[in-house]
Every structure is written in structure tokens, then in C-alpha cells.
Structure 1
Amino acid sequence: MRVFVTGASGFVGSAVVQELIAAGHQVLGLARSDASAQALIAAGADAHRGDIDDLESLKQGAAQCDGVIHTAFNHDFSKYKANCEADRHIIIAMGSVLEGSQRPLIVTSGTALVAGNGIATEDSKPAVTSDIIPRLASDEAAAVVAARGVNVSVVRLSPSVHGDGDHGFVPTLINIAREKGIVAYVNEGANRWPAVHRLDAARLYRLALEKGAANAIYHGAAEEGVPMREIAEVISKHLNVPAVSQTPEEAAAHFDWIAHFVAIDNPTSFQKTKHTLGWEPTHVSLLEDLENGTYFQS
């Protein structure tokens, strides 16, 4: 297949590109700069110059291919709601050129959106709408294009997608600990984050593309849940700063915008994903990656 990948030079998207090419697919990767285009070409992909803010360029890329994997997202949390709404428009735009064709569209979401009611499964539904949790705009857009005849499925990623080059939540925790001289966790730190290595996540996207069903949801959660206290203790050891329990109120001030994620309890199952796609994660766990990876290299 020829596959259009958004976010193709990003942390997850670049791994998806490598996974697809290794499996014999052709890749057309979205590139917003010369450097990104050159990196894609060096990896064996073709580059499609454009930007997620340019819906026409996205529609053109999607129209040229047999399937689309959408991993791009603007993670500027200072305009989070606007970015979530932008993602809604992106999904609907790309879906408009796939209607009725059976060409697959794989949309990215998060397991944290279905946290709070025991172990999240692929059948778990959000209890609210994007009016309350803006990131649900992507899921709502997937439902809209599905109703229009698009072969769309959703990959929910764990709060921690880890590996070399990670610039997400775990590096943010490390940076806050460096800045403030403590590693904080909320109450007993028993709340859990699921986690997945970026290379395992990339394989999941490929399997969803090749074998996925319309309107299906898949979970990129290789580990059901890593207690936040255990994450904090590894950071504490490597930075030689104390790990400290905080109340939710103290943590809100300490962590700023990431406080909600630090406090979330999001145990997540991937058993249905394993059964339907044959996805078997093989890479190191989050704590092993923290201990032995590149997270604490200056």
C-alpha cells in the first residue's frame, strides 16, 4: 500500500514510517520543512510538502494514497482547545477524500480519555464530550467521517509513549524535578499510567492499517498501568532529589498544566487489540527504559 502519514517526522510518526517501509509499504510523509522532507527521503519515503494548518495540502496527500495514518498534533498546551478543534477539522478534511473508498484512515486518540471507571478497554466510551475534554474532538470527528462512509479506526495511545527521543509527559516530569529539586506524586502515588514503547506503537499502527476493522478502537497500552510513585522513585534516584507525596492541591500548583495527567488513574487493557490484530509488544517497559535509556543524558 501507499500510505499518507501525518506527523511523519515526529516521535511516533517517524517510527510508523520506518515500520511501514520495513513491511514493504510505500510512504508519503507530510513535511512542513526542507529538513523534514530530507529526513523522510533519507528514510526511504516520499515527502509531501504541507502543514496540518493547510487542509488542502492534507486532502491532496490523502487523495494520492491507499490509506492514511494520522499521528500529527500540535502539542502547544497554551492553545490546547484550539489545537483540538483544529484536529477535528483535519480528520474531517482527510476523511472527505476517502468517503466510500474503503481506504483506511487511522486516527490517534488517548487512553486517558476513558480513564476513571476501572480498567479501560477498547469498548470503553468517554463519559463526556469535547465541551468538557477538548481532546475528544478527534474521536468525535472519527465518528462523523465513519457516518459518511469512511473506513476509519482509532488508536488510543498511552499517556507515556516512551523511547529515545521522547519529549512528552515523562521528560516533562524530569524537567520539573530538575527545576524544583523534588519529584512529586499525588497522595500515595498509587494512580497508574499505561505505557507503550514507540516501536511497539508503530507496529500497532501498521497492523491497524493492514488488518483493522471499520469503526474499531485499538489500545496502544503494552503495560496496563505503572504506579506514578514508581516512576517518581526512578526519577528521584537518577536526579538524586527526594520523591515527595503532595496533596492534589499542592500538586496542582507544583505541576501546572500537567497536573491533571499526573493525578489520573488510567489502567488500560489491550487484550481485544491483541486478539483482533495479533499485536504483541516486545520492547522494554517504561521503568526499564527510564533506568537504562537516554532520559537522563544531558
Structure 2
Amino acid sequence: MRIFVTGASGNIGKAVTKELLSYGHRVLGLVRSDAGADELKRLGAEVQRGTLTDLDVLKKAASECDGVAHLAFVHNMEDYGGCCAIDRAAIEVMGSALKAAGGDRALVISSGTMLLRKGQIGTEDQKYDESDPFGAVRGPSETVALAFAEKGVRVSVMRLPSVYGEGGLGFVALMLAAVQSKGLVAYLGAGENRWPATHTLDIARAYRLALENGKAGSIFHPVAQEGVRTKDIAEVLGKKLNVPVTAISQRETLDTFGPMAIAMGADNPSSSAKTRQQLEWTPVQPSLLEDLESGTCLESQTALPSWSHSA
């Protein structure tokens, strides 16, 4: 298959690109920068220059490929609604291009388990939580994508947990940002809230399997660990970095993490039972706590997060 990968030079996109290439697929990667283009060429992928707002570019690239792995997203927390509108427009254009091309064309879009109702185990059968401030705005991207299942496109939604490894740490990077700014690792309240987590390489394999064999209209949860307590994460980080570990209040969470405070306090355990069965996917990489304890993903963390720039 020839696959168009948006966000191909990002942490997850690069892993997906490598995974696809290693299994004999061809990759056309969307990148914005010279550095990103050079990286993709070194991996053996084709390069498509452009951004998510270049709809004509997205349409042409999708129409010339057998499938699309949509991983790019504009991360501007000052205009999150606008970012989600860009996402929906990109999905609409690429889905329409695949439909017009005909045949067995696959579209796998990226979403998140954090869009589900909190405080309960989220499953692949559940719809995004419309009462959640993030779910209400980004969740409609799932609806736009899944509509193409009835139009002949083999579309599926990949709801990502907190992803670690290969240069990124997902929501754990929030805690590292607090280390940089305050010299401590912080968690909210008793730290009993849980984050689902999966290593980047296991995530990449899930995308490949969905592109190859995913059924139209599927929702997947590539979740290796159903829920890791934030207190446990903070304690491992504190030990590895030799900094204090502190419980903070809701008010302090807002002051420390800004718009991402909602993620710090989210209790988001998520099941992957149907995903494992349907895709025959079994995670094999070290768990989040194992990776943190070994220091592997900390060593590969190339930059602390910025929540106000495009990525």
C-alpha cells in the first residue's frame, strides 16, 4: 500500500512511518519544514510539503494513495476550537478524495481516550463525552470521519492514550514542565486519578494493522495499560530526577498547568479489549512505569511541551 501520513515527522508519525516502511508499504509524508523533509527522506519515505490548511495539497495526496494515517493536529490552546475546525476540514477533504478514488481505501484518524466520560472505564463502544470541554469541540472529528464508512471508505478512529517513548512522553511531559518551572513533580490531590498509556512503537503497530485490516466504522483504543495512577508516575519521576514530589490543589494545578490542568486531574481508565481482538494487537513494549524507572523515555525526551504552537 501507498500511505499518506500527516504529521509524519512528529513523534508518533515518525514511528508510524518507520513501521509502515518496515512492512513493505510506501509512505508519502506531510511535513512543513526542511528538517522534517530531510528526516523522512533518510527513512526512505516520499515527501509532501504542506500544512493541514493546504486543502488542495491534502486532497491530491490522499487521492494518489491507498490509505491515509491522519496524525497531524494544530496545538494552539488559545484557539482550540479553531484547531478542531481545521482538523474536521482536513478529514472531510481527505475522506472525500479517498471516496472519489474508489476501491479499498483506508482512512485512520487520530482522536483520544481523554474525550470519553471520566471516572469510568472507557470502551470502544462509547461515544465521546459532549459535556466535556475537549470532547465537545474535538469529538465531532470522529463523527465527520465515521460518516465516510457509509460512503465506501474503510475508515477507523484511533483514540490515543498517553503515549510515551521515541522522543515524547504524552501527558507525563506536563509533570516535566513543572519540574523545569518549579523544581518539583506535582500531582493533583491524592493522585488516584489514572491515565491509560502505551509505548509509541506499540501505537505505530496499531496504526499499521488498522490500515491493513481495520473494518469500516471501527473505533480502536490502542491502550497497553488501562490506567496508571498519576501519583505513581510522579513518585518515579521524583526519584529519577531527584526532586521533591508534591500534592497540589485544584487552584495550584490551574496556576501550574494552565489549560492542560484538566488533563492533570482526569481519571481516564480505558479498555482495549475489542481493539486487541479485532486487530490481533498485543502490546509488547515496556510499561510506562518500567520505562520511566529505566530512564529510557526520559533520555529520549528532546523537548518539554509547548501548548501554544502548531505541531
Does the TM-score normalized on the shorter chain lie above 0.5? yes
Structure 1 CA distance for aligned equivalents of residues 287 and 15 of structure 2 = 17
| Deviation digits for residues 13-57 of structure 1 (CA, Å, limit 9, x no counterpart) | 000010001111111111222222221111111112222120110
Once the two structures are TM-superposed, the CA of residue 130 in structure 1 deviates from its matched residue by 8.5
- Contact residue 119 and residue 268 of structure 1 kept, 8 A: yes
- Contact residue 115 and residue 265 of structure 1 kept, 8 A: no
- Contact residue 186 and residue 246 of structure 1 kept, 8 A: yes
Q: Which residue of 2 aligns with 1:89?
A: 89
Structure 2 CA distance for aligned equivalents of residues 51 and 126 of structure 1 = 26
Unaligned runs of 5+ in 1: none
TM-score by length of 1: 0.94
1:80-229 correspondence runs (5 A): 80-99=80-99, 100-128=102-130, 133-158=136-161, 160-166=162-168, 168-229=170-231
Greater shift in the superposed pair: 22-31 or 132-141: 132-141
1:57 paired to 2:57: yes
Structure 2 CA distance for aligned equivalents of residues 9 and 291 of structure 1 = 27
Once the two structures are TM-superposed, the CA of residue 149 in structure 1 deviates from its matched residue by 3.7
Greater shift in the superposed pair: 65-74 or 113-122: 113-122
Once the two structures are TM-superposed, the CA of residue 220 in structure 1 deviates from its matched residue by 1.6
Once the two structures are TM-superposed, the CA of residue 98 in structure 1 deviates from its matched residue by 1.2
Structure 2 CA distance for aligned equivalents of residues 154 and 142 of structure 1 = 8
Once the two structures are TM-superposed, the CA of residue 236 in structure 1 deviates from its matched residue by 1.5
Q: Which residue of 2 aligns with 1:45?
A: 45
User: Which amino acid in the other structure matches residue 33 of structure 1?
Assistant: S
Once the two structures are TM-superposed, the CA of residue 164 in structure 1 deviates from its matched residue by 3.0
Unaligned runs of 5+ in 2: 303-311
Once the two structures are TM-superposed, the CA of residue 183 in structure 1 deviates from its matched residue by 1.9
Q: Secondary structure at the match of 2:111?
A: strand
Structure 2 CA distance for aligned equivalents of residues 128 and 294 of structure 1 = 33
Give the number of aligned pairs.
297
Question: Which runs of structure 1 show a deviation greater than 6 angstroms over 4 or more consecutive aligned residues?
Answer: 129-132
| Deviation digits for residues 36-88 of structure 1 (CA, Å, limit 9, x no counterpart) | 22211111111122221201101111011111110111122222221111000
Structure 2 CA distance for aligned equivalents of residues 35 and 188 of structure 1 = 43
CA RMSD of aligned residues (A): 1.9
- Contact residue 117 and residue 129 of structure 2 kept, 8 A: no
TM-score by length of 2: 0.90
Once the two structures are TM-superposed, the CA of residue 233 in structure 1 deviates from its matched residue by 0.7
Q: Secondary structure at the match of 1:97?
A: helix
| Deviation digits for residues 121-157 of structure 1 (CA, Å, limit 9, x no counterpart) | 1111123178763221321221343344432100000
Q: Which residue of 2 aligns with 1:22?
A: 22
Alignment partner for residue 236 of structure 1, among 232, 235, 238? 238
Give the share of equivalent positions with the same residue, in percent: 47
User: Which amino acid in the other structure matches residue 154 of structure 2?
Assistant: N
Q: Which residue of 1 aligns with 2:308?
A: none
Once the two structures are TM-superposed, the CA of residue 245 in structure 1 deviates from its matched residue by 1.8
User: Which amino acid in the other structure matches residue 47 of structure 2?
Assistant: A
